Chains A and B, each alone.
Chain A
Amino acid sequence: EAGVTQFPSHSVIEKGQTVTLRCDPISGHDNLYWYRRVMGKEIKFLLHFVKESKQDESGMPNNRFLAERTGGTYSTLKVQPAELEDSGVYFCASSRSWMGDTQYFGPGTRLTVL
């Protein structure tokens, strides 16, 4: 069974530019999550999809971040326009159910905003 995949693995952009991160969950997992880790801090929750619906987006930092999951398969996280403080590692995770189920993480996308 293939694990969670993320693309790209690294992205370096200038402040003010746009970046789109992609996540492909484990096949059959209806629940998809985005997390991020900024330098020196713990991994923090951004949002949770159940199929194509946003179940919880309480962790999204501001309206420069837009997450989508059309068709309930892969998800994209767009940052527009990017700011310096958006630098960090963005992780995607997926799970079969969402009530206390194990979340399996992807390798992450390291975003650097210059």
Chain B
Amino acid sequence: EDQVTQSPEALRLQEGESSSLNCSYTVSGLRGLFWYRQDPGKGPEFLFTLYSAGEEKEKERLKATLTKKESFLHITAPKPEDSATYLCAVQADTNAGKSTFGDGTTLTVKP
């Protein structure tokens, strides 16, 4: 069974204090790994897709990386508007189309 574990559950940072969020996964053949951002009362908003180990993608203050067992979402010099829940999801070769989600990491950035 595909599994996704995200850590930490919650992360509080000061504005400008860089950090990383972790997503560990177990899947029978990774088809894709997805990062989403979710604000309260809204649906998940797509950030990145990673397909193979060694791949990296960047967008503004966010950078996502992928290894064979985990993915990291690096946040550089975060701002209060980066506060949200960050979700990681995987799709497996055997269940392509079905995304398996982690519980998410709730990030709070204090000014």
Binding site for B on A (CB under 8 A): 4, 31, 33, 35, 41-45, 48, 55-56, 58-59, 91, 93, 98-108
Contact = CB atoms under 8 A, between A and B. Distances in A.
B97 A42 contact: no
B36 A100 contact: no
Contacts of B89: 43
Q: Chain A interface secondary structure, helix, strand, loop or mixed?
A: loop
Which 3 A-B pairs rank lowest in CB-CB distance, beginning with the nearest?
A: A100-B32, A105-B43, A98-B97
Interface of B: 4, 31-32, 34, 36, 41-46, 49, 51, 87, 89, 91, 95-104
A33 B4 CA distance: 19
B96 A91 contact: no
13 contacts: A42-B104, A43-B87, A55-B97, A56-B98, A59-B98, A98-B96, A100-B49, A102-B32, A102-B46, A103-B99, A104-B46, A105-B36, A108-B42
